[in-house]
Amino acid sequence: MTILLPHVEVETQPNPDASIIWLHGLGADGHDFEPIVTQLDLPKNAAIRFIFPHAPSLPVTINNGMVMPAWYDILEISIERKVDQVQLKKSVDAIIDFIHHEIERGINSDRIIIVGFSQGGAVAFETALAFPQKLAGLLALSTYFATKDTITYHPANQNLPIAIHHGEYDPIVPFRLATDSSELLAVNGYSVELKSYPMEHSVCRQQIAEIRQWFIDVLSIK
């Protein structure tokens, strides 16, 4: 029996027919984005299970080895961010366990959306683009494509709806990394929607409204 990471679950209605697995950023936990379920104000007929996993606690090199919730270690402060690829892949495997668990609970894989903010977004990129069954969508928030040089893309998700959102004034993950990710995916034949917002490393109200509509469109909620 697979043991899932500790996590928070919120269902918008009984008997959900779709799942959204949402990964937090460095130093946060699954509760960080839990309030967004209410803020999205989804239609009454949207029966969605939101899953917010808690990352394990790890020493983080760029934070002087301080132990904190992290999907992987960040080894040096640089634009391209040198990361611990082994730990990142271990986190990817943990999220794949959630996907399989949702399938076992009766959710079709093409009704599962992967969302990640910042460090969680790097895990989300690898998880969704390499997953061997069709997913519903990938939403990458204020993040970067840490495994762009090592990923093995799977054709099952070649037509995956992908949205990248990023703050124009982000001092932590520069906006250029969002455009780099978008351009790289386009070169590899993916259709990507890139949206920028006048904010730093965060989520804003306008963005939440657009995330709401994206979920509705991707899941074909009438």
> Tens of pLDDT along 59-74?
999 999 999 999 999 9
Known active-site residue 201: yes
* Residue of 118, 142, 181, 182 marked catalytic: 118
Confidence of residue 80 (pLDDT cuts 50, 70, 90): low
Q: What is the pLDDT of residue 2?
A: 84
For residue 112, pLDDT over 90 is answered with: yes
pLDDT of residue 5: 98
Of the candidates 184, 189, 193, 81, which has an alpha carbon nearest to the alpha carbon of residue 137? 193
Task: Share the mean pLDDT of the chain.
Answer: 96
Nearest Cα neighbor of 127 from 95, 167, 83 is 95
Q: Which of 29, 32, 84, 170 is catalytic?
A: 170
Whether the per-residue pLDDT at 79 is higher than 60: the answer is: no
DSSP, collapsed to helix, strand or coil, labels residue 174 as: coil
Judge whether 81 and 144 are in contact, CB under 8 Å.
yes
DSSP 57: E
Indicate the SS3 state at residue 130: helix
Segment 130-151 shows an average pLDDT of: 97
Look at the domain 7-218 and name its fold: Rossmann fold (3.40.50)
Nearest partner of 151 among 98, 94, 73, 85, judged by Cα: 85
Q: Residue 27: its pLDDT value, please?
A: 96
Query: According to the model, what pLDDT value does residue 222 have?
Result: 80
Catalytic residue among 110, 196, 201, 202: 201
* List of residues 6+ apart from 108 with CB closer than 8 A: none
Taking only the tens place, the pLDDT of each residue in 160-177 is 999 999 999 999 999 999
Average pLDDT over residues 121-149: 97
Determine whether 93 is an active site residue. no
The domain locations on the chain are: 7-218
Residue 77 confidence (pLDDT): 75
Q: How many helices (H) and strands (E) does the chain have?
A: 5, 11
